[in-house]
Amino acid sequence: MKTAPTAAPPRRASRGRSGAEARIVQSIGEAIADRRLPPGTKLAEESLAQVFGVSRERVRKVLLLLAQRRVVTLIPNRGAFVAKPTAREAREVFEARRVIERAIMETLDRLARPLPPGVLARLNEHRAREEAAEAAGDRKALIRLSGQFHLLLAEFAGNATLAGILGDLIDRSGLAIAAFERRSSHSCSAEDHRRLIDALADPGPDRNRAGEAVRLMMEHLDTIERQLDLEAKPEPLIDLKSVFAGADGE
């Protein structure tokens, strides 16, 4: 049971919220993750209440939840904003990811030798979706799939606590990348993920190669962090209504 793959893509549990709130948290979270809402965007209660057809009070609850996850910043008398990490916070987030993801890869290396066929099939299926998104130039899908890949590994390692922490760190590293990326690049390359899967699938007979997947993951995170440019950027103006146009219809 502990490392069984699941068919659904990894999503955080709704943590006991009402359905409407969970739906809004997810919509805003996804818009932040795929950069439709860049760091620093003002999240006006009134506009969000109109967009989602709920009370301002409910919007406030949602913003509070997102603030607890540190993807939204609440400023007294000014309102809510998509969090805009400083260069220092960006480095801290990647440092934390290295610690967590090293532990996850070590656990996988230890538990999953050889990697169960079901897990490998699920990873390869995910890899195919990443490669298709990359080939199609679908940046939004690629960002979403990239994060899910890392969460899948955490899930297969069977540690829900590490997976939960990693989920928040992935959201925050997405913000760091959006704030500091040098040009229009995405966070992960499908090629790096392919090499990670290969290392897990076939680590070779030599126990000394056990660290290969860990090494590749550290290299992968270093590469992403190195793509960041710590120069300040002007804040773009975002229209909340156009971001969520059609998002609430179904």
Q: Which residues bind Zn ion (CB under 5 A)?
A: 188
Q: Least distance from C-beta 11 to Zn ion, angstroms? A: 18
Residue carrying the six token digits 């000014």: 78
Q: Which CB, 169 or 188, lies closer to Zn ion? A: 188
The DSSP call for residue 237 is: P
Tally Cβ neighbours within 10 Å of residue 169. 21
Alpha-carbon gap, residue 95 to 97, rounded angstroms: 5
Q: Least distance from C-beta 217 to Zn ion, angstroms? A: 8
Q: Least distance from C-beta 231 to Zn ion, angstroms? A: 24
Under a CB-based contact definition with an 8 Å cutoff, are residues 168 and 69 in contact?
Answer: yes
User: Cα 8 to the chain's mean position, in Å?
Assistant: 16
Alpha-carbon gap, residue 234 to 237, rounded angstroms: 10
Q: Which CB, 188 or 228, lies closer to Zn ion? A: 188
Residue carrying the six token digits 């955490």: 154
Residue nearest to Zn ion (CB): 188
Closest CA to 85 of 240, 233, 243: 233
Alpha-carbon gap, residue 228 to 205, rounded angstroms: 37
Q: Least distance from C-beta 223 to Zn ion, angstroms? A: 9
Q: Which CB, 21 or 130, lies closer to Zn ion? A: 130
Q: Which CB, 61 or 97, lies closer to Zn ion? A: 97
Q: Which CB, 31 or 188, lies closer to Zn ion? A: 188
Q: Least distance from C-beta 187 to Zn ion, angstroms? A: 7
